[in-house]
């Protein structure tokens, strides 16, 4: 399903489905269940916690019943996500009874214990040590000299052939609709060599596509003053341009998410033209009218984004641009909205997600004057999506007859589900192969000729 056909109840473009783990415990081995709600960033946290637990000899239970305790990694971004988290905690309590809560909603412990006084412990986002302490208290580890050696890649909740790579946490901006900086703190970048070593291990373990994530990828390393680290006999700066170039040399596809339109982003585009990094930019513009952007307090609000896009396309004509937008932001006039529509017509983005503005508890935009009535928001959303869909259709139709490299995600009796370089997993479209696919395996990268295009997806055959 194309991302544009939905308006998920979440302002983040990065919604991933809840993940559950496979594999069962050996007799006598302590066992932990885990439910991971929310975005890919939360998924990365879940993976880290599970990797540590595995290393300590815990098994990961695929269901609540077989687990000695259950960790619920929550999302607290929107009221609807909070409700979903509370529901998941309730479900785990009912099925298992021993529940440890972590993640974004853990930043509001009273909210959780108010609804579910029986939870064993509540910890906030990235409090790995506290989560582990809570697990140790609830289910003591039973060290076993014969425990399986940790796989090189740790425990991965995403399919083995692609993996999220978190390069930093937190954010130095203060967008008025966003509470992430309050929950996750200021930007904290991982040292470049640590990111690269993790990426290298992932590629050695079979990962073919690395999805670089953070809250603000273009700001990577600013907090470290772009310090230098030894890497492979040379030096690498903790700067997104250096990092992207080195990642591109590892032999896997590299996809950049959450890049803001700062001038230095221009330096990344030649890496795309050279084929080191996928010609794909996930860049959350959110709006196009300068007054709306200012009221949102967006980073790079004054950027001349249409000029920037034209520059990028001049360097790398194949670049696929994905973005998300908010319509009906407080004070958005018809005139401002029309500017956004016109901008979209000129920018001709490849993939677009759009959200109707919604108050989030604690966000400063809640107090802005002139909130837009629901029916106006809906009307603007409809008009925006109509235009975005028409552009997407035209752009996909133009790819019929072209040859594209695709990565195979899934193969079943009916065909192979793949993605082109222009499509990120979970949020963009697919390319389907329904003939001659029997020998394909997930993670294969093959060339196809596109023979049909739909609203959001493509069909093709192997060449």
**Which parts of this chain interact with ligand SF4 (CB under 6 A)?**
171, 173-175, 178, 180-181, 215-216, 299
CA distances from residue 106 to 102, 127, 184 in whole angstroms, order as listed: 5, 10, 11
If you write DSSP's letter for every residue of 26-37 in order, what string do you get? PTT--EEEEEE-
**Nearer Cβ to ligand SF4 (239/257):** 257
Strand partners, 237: 228
**Nearer Cβ to ligand SF4 (58/77):** 77
Element (H, E) at 60: strand 59-61
Question: Angle, nearest 10°, between helix axes 240-248 and 192-204?
Answer: 20
CA distance 202 to 210: 8
Nearest distance from C-beta of residue 105 to ligand SF4, angstroms: 17
Q: Is 78 exposed, middle or buried (0-12, 13-18, 19+ CB in 10 A)?
A: buried
**Nearer Cβ to ligand SF4 (221/299):** 299
Torsion sign over Cα 236, 239, 242, 247: positive
Nearest distance from C-beta of residue 296 to ligand SF4, angstroms: 8
**Nearer Cβ to ligand SF4 (88/105):** 105
Give SS3 for 397: helix
Nearest distance from C-beta of residue 11 to ligand SF4, angstroms: 8
**Nearer Cβ to ligand SF4 (279/284):** 284
Nearest distance from C-beta of residue 216 to ligand SF4, angstroms: 5
**Nearer Cβ to ligand SF4 (180/278):** 180
Q: Cα torsion for 62, 79, 180, 332, to the nearest 10°?
A: 140
Nearest distance from C-beta of residue 71 to ligand SF4, angstroms: 24
Nearest distance from C-beta of residue 330 to ligand SF4, angstroms: 16
Q: Based on C-alpha coordinates, what's the Rg of the chain?
A: 22
- The single-letter DSSP state of residue 458 is E
């Amino acid at each position: 399903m194309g991302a544009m056909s939905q308006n998920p109840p979440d302002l983040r473009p990065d919604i991933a489905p809840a993940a559950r783990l496979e594999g069962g415990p050996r007799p006598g081995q302590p066992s932990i269940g885990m439910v991971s709600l929310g975005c890919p960033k939360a998924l990365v946290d879940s993976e880290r916690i599970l990797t540590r637990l595995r290393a300590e000899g815990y098994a990961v239970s695929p269901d609540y019943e077989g687990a000695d305790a259950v960790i619920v990694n929550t999302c607290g971004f929107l009221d609807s996500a909070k409700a979903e988290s509370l529901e998941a905690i309730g479900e785990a309590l009912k099925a298992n009874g021993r529940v440890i809560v972590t993640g974004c909603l853990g930043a509001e412990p009273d909210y959780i214990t108010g609804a579910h006084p029986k939870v064993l412990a509540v910890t906030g986002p990235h409090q790995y040590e506290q989560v582990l302490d809570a697990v140790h208290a609830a289910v003591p580890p039973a060290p076993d000299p014969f425990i399986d050696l940790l796989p090189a890649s740790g425990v991965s909740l995403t399919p083995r052939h692609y993996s999220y790579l978190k390069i930093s946490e937190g954010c130095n901006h203060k967008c008025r609709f966003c509470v992430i900086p309050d929950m996750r703190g200021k930007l904290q970048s991982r040292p470049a060599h640590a990111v690269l070593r993790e990426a290298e291990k992932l590629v050695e373990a079979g990962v073919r596509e690395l999805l670089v994530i953070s809250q603000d990828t273009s700001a990577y390393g600013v907090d470290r003053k772009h310090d230098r680290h030894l890497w492979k006999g040379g030096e690498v700066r903790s700067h997104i341009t250096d990092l992207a170039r080195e990642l591109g040399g590892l032999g896997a596809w590299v996809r950049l998410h959450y890049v803001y339109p700062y001038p230095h982003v221009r330096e990344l585009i030649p890496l795309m033209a050279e084929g080191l990094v996928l010609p794909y930019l996930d860049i959350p513009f959110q709006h196009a009218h300068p007054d709306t952007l200012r009221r949102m307090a967006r980073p790079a609000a004054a950027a001349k984004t249409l000029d920037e896009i034209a520059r990028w396309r001049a360097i790398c004509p194949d670049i696929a641009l994905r973005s998300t937008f908010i319509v009906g932001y407080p004070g958005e006039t018809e005139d401002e909205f029309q500017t956004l529509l016109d901008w979209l017509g000129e920018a001709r983005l490849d993939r677009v997600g759009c959200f109707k503005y919604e108050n989030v508890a604690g966000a400063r935009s809640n107090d802005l004057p002139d909130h837009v009535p629901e029916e106006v928001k809906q009307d603007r959303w409809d008009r925006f999506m109509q235009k975005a869909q028409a552009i997407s259709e035209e752009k996909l139709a133009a790819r019929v007859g072209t040859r594209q490299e695709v990565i195979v995600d899934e193969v079943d009796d009916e065909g192979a589900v793949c993605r082109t370089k222009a499509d990120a997993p979970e949020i963009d479209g697919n390319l389907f192969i329904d003939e001659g696919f029997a020998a394909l395996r997930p993670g294969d990268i093959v060339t196809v000729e596109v023979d049909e295009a739909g609203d959001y997806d493509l069909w093709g055959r192997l060449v």
